[in-house]
Amino acid sequence: MLVERTPGAFYLKSKAFLHFHEDPSGIYADVKLDSTKFTRMRVTSAHEQANFVKSVRRCLCPGKATNASSGRHAA
């Protein structure tokens, strides 16, 4: 389960997993998709946000297929 310990900083168990930040070129998320190092993803547009959510779901629920058009898990 993800826990937001400070605004925009999320932990998975006791380890930092995700944080958001903004710079002049847009909004970014740094996320540990491989459980070891942060990967920076741009999340400014709706398309970028959808890709980000899909990547995080794949990381947190690796055995479940996701229906990309609805965001629901396939049975």
Note down pLDDT in tens along the chain; length 75 residues.
889 999 999 999 999 999 999 999 999 999 999 989 999 999 999 999 999 999 999 988 888 755 554 555 444
pLDDT of residue 67: 55
List 11's β-bridge partners, or say none: 3, 16
pLDDT of residue 41: 98
> Which one-letter amino acid corresponds to residue 35?
S
Taking a C-beta distance cutoff of 8 angstroms, is the pair 20, 10 a contact?
Answer: no
Q: For residue 49, is it within any domain?
A: yes
pLDDT of residue 35: 85
* Count of structural domains within the chain: 1
Boundaries of domain holding 8: 2-60
Helix (H) / strand (E) containing 51: helix 46-60
Q: For residue 66, is it within any domain?
A: no
